[in-house]
Amino acid sequence: MADFEFHINKQEWEALFDYLQANNYRIIPDMFYPTKQFNIITGWDDFTEHHERNATHFFIINDFFSLEPIVVSRNKYAEEPIYQVNQRKGGPYLDISYYRGFANNAIIPCISTDLSYYPRFIHFNNYHEFKASDELKDSYNKIVKFIKARCKVVRKNNKKYFIGYGALKELEHLL
pLDDT digits (tens, 9 = 90+) for 28-51: 999 999 999 999 999 999 999 999
Structure pTM? 0.91
Question: CA–CA separation, 121 vs 129, rounded Å?
Answer: 5
| Least-confidence region, from 57-66, 68-77, 140-149 | 68-77
Q: Which helix (H) or strand (E) holds 57?
A: strand 57-61
CA separation, residue 96 to residues 59, 79, 104, 114, 169 (Å):
6, 29, 23, 6, 24
- Say if residue 102's pLDDT is above 90: no
The answer to whether residues 144 and 9 touch, using CB atoms and an 8 Å cutoff, is no
Q: Which of 84, 97, 93, 85 is nearest to 121 (CA)?
A: 93
What is the H or E stretch that residue 83 is in? strand 83-85
Residue 104 has pLDDT above 80, yes or no: no
At 175, the pLDDT band (50, 70, 90 cuts) reads low
Residue in 123, 89, 127, 112 with CA at minimum distance from that of residue 9: 112
